[in-house]
Amino acid sequence: MTNNCCIDFTQPLSTGAARLRHRFEAPREVLVAHALHEVRGVLDAVFAAAQQGRWCVGHVRYEAAAAFDAALQTHAADGPLAWFAVYDAPLPWTDDAEDAGAAAAPAQVVWDDSPERDKFDTALAQIQQAIAAGELYQVNYTAPFRGTLQGPPQALFAALLRAQPGGYAAHLQAGDEQVLSVSPELFFDWKDVPEGGTLLARPMKGTAPRGATPEQDAQQAEHLRTAPKERAENVMIVDLLRNDMSRIALPHSVQVPALFATQALPTVWQMTSDVTARTRPGTTLTDVFAALFPCGSVTGAPKVRAMQMIRALEPTPRGVYCGAVGVVRPAGPPDAQGHHAVAATFNVPIRTVVLRAEGGLTRATCGIGSGITSGAQADAEWSEWQHKRAFVERASQPFDLLETLALQEGRFRHRDEHLARLQSAAAHFGVPWDGAVVSQRLQALAADHAEGAWRVRLLLDATGTPRAEAFALQPTAKPVRLQLATRAFTAARSEFVRYKTTRRAHYAAFAPTTPGVFDTVLWNEAGEITEGTFGNIAALIDGRWVTPPLSCGLLPGVGRAVALREGRVVEAVLRVADVPRVQGWAFINSLRGWLTATLDT
């Protein structure tokens, strides 16, 4: 391995947009701890190197905990307990080169081993029994899911950055494994100065899914801010960290300047709080780790008992996941003795994929977890796990953004509405957008197809490059036949439903196979009808035409929006149980317009 690394870190104490973005090549040395008694020595050496003006990038495994306190129980580690590469200086971040490489050789991860629901339910019940018995207040329970990477790790890291931007990201080529972390959670940011350092921890505890509409999204954020269960989960960890930080803090300096703040991530809302302190003169990096590690947000409270239970419930080591990944660097010019002040920033490596070569394959592991308290409900916690893993599912397979337009005699139907929806999807997925270039591509295609009726597929790839394809559009005989799905459409809340992309396997699984059936009417786990596999649905019931609201989980179709604007339909929840009362059906999309339909029953 080359031991090259890169970091893209938020600067948590900065009010500007500047980020700590660097790449590193050819380390002067690599510091590794394979045994517990070596961990403190590695951290001391890292601190000394930064005092000498060098940059150190690396990780500390969750299983290193006992190096700081023998009472903190874990499984035996499956790799180095601490690993740091030491560099003379950082190099500039090369965004363009990385994006170009990712576009030329995209990565795909096939996940073949996921957590099982029955084991999850059993573990949750055991945790709540222990809470009821007064043994602890909270346990952060986790499980890995595993897969195989096809393609270069750099391309997967680029995709993960697009899926989870703006946090504390690092790509470490660390010996026999690669760590691809896009964690949104700050473990600690510490600056050491002779008169006493400044220390900030920002634990992330409390989760809610993003809403399907702006109104629903705001409601989800407000619920997260105010829900007693979420606030209790957060404050337990804040109290734990206040206690941990007091070990190295100047008297009366531990403060909580921000409590219950909400942070919007692409697939979830997260609740964070800030805990700050002034560290005592003479505090070292090892002292900070000894006081804080592992972060309480990934253990539970009290930490010792929670980690005992984690070891009993989780059958394998966590590894880098739930440990710490970060950078230790000089802060400012040297003093008269040639020593620099030291700055250290570490994330809590959630939202992290670890790669290893096994049997000629590149195996990928990603952990997912949540804090279990007395009020936790199994269905809600399991749903939270699915929302949290959405970031890696987004990055696991390359996809393009997609719009399907009707081109009639050289003119596009509802062109502006389609471009507005495409621009919204580009903003959501972090895809570069140049509206003028997209419009030029459509104009060129229209000039080449000035006569007749055409179905146009407009695609936008991860680099923001558009392409358009035209296919002859055949007329559709009406009425069209629809069939009702025989099982729930569990992907209804997915971002790949709210936004139109080329990733459509969740729809393809419901495509009709019966001859003569045009499309399948889908319904969500609550029994609410949502849409078809390639268009929206309307129903005549109680004397009015209705179409399901976006909150049920469906694509905001352009044809649907036109029908709503014209007053042809209104939004209303339509349930499977209501089907016998429906007097008429319609299929709607921008390409084919309003098609009268019948439903096979």
**Catalytic residue annotation:** 185, 205
Residue 119's CB: how many other CB atoms inside 10 A?
12
- Evaluate whether 571 touches 541 at the Cβ level (below 8 Å): no
Residue type, 489: F
| Rounded Cα gap, residues 476 and 554, in angstroms | 23
- The answer for 276, left when phi > 0, alpha when psi is -120 to 50, beta otherwise, is beta
Dihedrals phi, psi of 248, to nearest 5 degrees: -120, 10
- Evaluate whether 61 touches 81 at the Cβ level (below 8 Å): yes
Residue 32's CB: how many other CB atoms inside 10 A?
17
| Rounded Cα gap, residues 221 and 9, in angstroms | 25
Interhelix angle 95-104/153-163, rounded to 10 degrees, is 110
Interhelix angle 415-429/558-565, rounded to 10 degrees, is 120
| Rounded Cα gap, residues 115 and 77, in angstroms | 21
Neighbouring C-alpha atoms within 13 Å toward the C-beta of 76:
2
- For residue 272, what are the β-bridge partners? 204, 261
| Rounded Cα gap, residues 579 and 482, in angstroms | 13
Neighbouring C-alpha atoms within 13 Å toward the C-beta of 94:
12
Question: From start to end of 302-451, where are the E strands?
Answer: 324-331, 341-347, 352-358, 361-372, 401-408, 411-412
Residue 251's CB: how many other CB atoms inside 10 A?
8
Pairing of strands 544-547, 570-571: parallel
Return the SS3 of 425.
helix
Closest CA to 140 of 350, 373, 319: 373
- The answer for 549, left when phi > 0, alpha when psi is -120 to 50, beta otherwise, is beta
580: Cβ–Cβ under 8 A, 6 or more apart, which residues? none
Longest dimension (CA), the chain: 87
Residue type, 354: V
| Rounded Cα gap, residues 397 and 394, in angstroms | 7
118: Cβ–Cβ under 8 A, 6 or more apart, which residues? none
Which DSSP string do the residues of 221-272 spell out, in sequence order? HHHHHH-HHHHHHHHHHHHHHHHHHHTTBPTT--EEEEEEEEEE-SSEEEEE
- Evaluate whether 233 touches 227 at the Cβ level (below 8 Å): no
Tokens of 284: 């070292």
